Chain A
């Protein structure tokens, strides 16, 4: 173990000492529930981090259970000892990532660089990725999925997710720094809109609907120029430096004007933005700016609820809600989405038995650990099926894709559909009623 690995592991170990091994987190952990061993539980992982720090196991041995963690942080939520699992996980991943880089083949290093530093970290590449999806769909050229370095990102399993995708638009410049005026005379709030790379590449239509909803409740909306990916995928993969790099770019981009809020519509991205403050806590140059950024960050549901969003139409749907883990566990936004959905006339609200169990999407987990992810999804779908809902609402692009995949897998197409909260709200006030046609399932 080199110094770098040791430092990160030591920090993780310090956090691990907060764990009193009570096991309260076991029933909350999706990987424990599906993989059924203590090794794949929060308590096991925390313990193994200690074991690695004590030198009883190698980083390679540690990487097994750590890689299989979804990072959903449901464990943190139920922990009576305030174990900061999310932070511990990132530190352990960073140590492992350092270690892997030391030992990885140059080719593998190249691929990972492409994926994390270049693809996700650069908006234009992500836009091209949106374009790629478009080519993929249009030409049926599944070959792309088999091309390095995309194979790692899109294994054959992509086909499943692909079926659930929106029509991807041909590549064009999406982040335009454009301004959208409020519906009323004077803006109630001036907000910046955070587009998010996956959201913008894959579900750009939902972004457009979000902006229109914000306008409708009286916001002046600015799609801040030069913004980039939130950095969550990098941070969760142990690429701390890259994550910090993109975070700084975002902080700068959103300082261009004095916004009341920085609004996003992706539970996972929002959580990362909320964590910038923590990310730079030890960096005197950035800590204050980062904290200010995080304070201004808000999920769209919070803003809509705050500004008294009102539905106009009656929607005769039986609706269930699968919250994004990071929205619940990190952003702690729980009540607003439910309140908004239930304010729509005609909607029959059927809560899930275990809404707080992850759906198995978890960033790129469903691509990298396909089988494990499908097992977790299987458990989730059993719960969803039980509600007999015809609409499943989510608040994060990954979850939305996963839900769509789940519906297809269970053969529920036509009887059930998955939508983003924004789509449902938009439909309820007639902004765009075509979403039923656009999404399959």
Chain B
């Protein structure tokens, strides 16, 4: 073990340490993503789109072409880029509010059109940047600023299951998985496959990453990890839902 943090080559060193709160999962997702970009050797071809949400703190995170868009609109912005220049590798990076609430129409329609982009969605069970309101992914009974008495599923329904939804509306060629920051090696392999799927021109690629938000969860390190590993996985099953490459490969 070494104390020197290993930073992916694609990270922008001048902007480190990054701006996420201590214990935040965003940094880990972006670490896995950075390593995937490095291993695929695609740094010069990537266009990284960052949504509004804590994702926006990544607007200067990588040494790759980056555009920070509007809340929920990253999917259509990078779709526009990809349609105009199919040679670049487009990533849409967003939160669960950005992807499943305000931007859900874009997620659904990009998936239905089988856009050759890679969407990465960070599930932290709340609207973090705005101070911890209910998100589509907030767990039943979970207290947030707009569910001060706990999320009542009779009033607000069950948490959105994003990858399952996207899997239901996509046809052949799409890659869909749910990873977690509790298993970074696996998350990295999912992200890598999602990028490779785009590079192969197969179709829409989507990875949800279970993540942490100790600031709004108001949890210490131990409870934060317990929440991701035990509570979130009760509703959000980790694994691959669709993998076009698996048919021949495995």
A, B bound: no
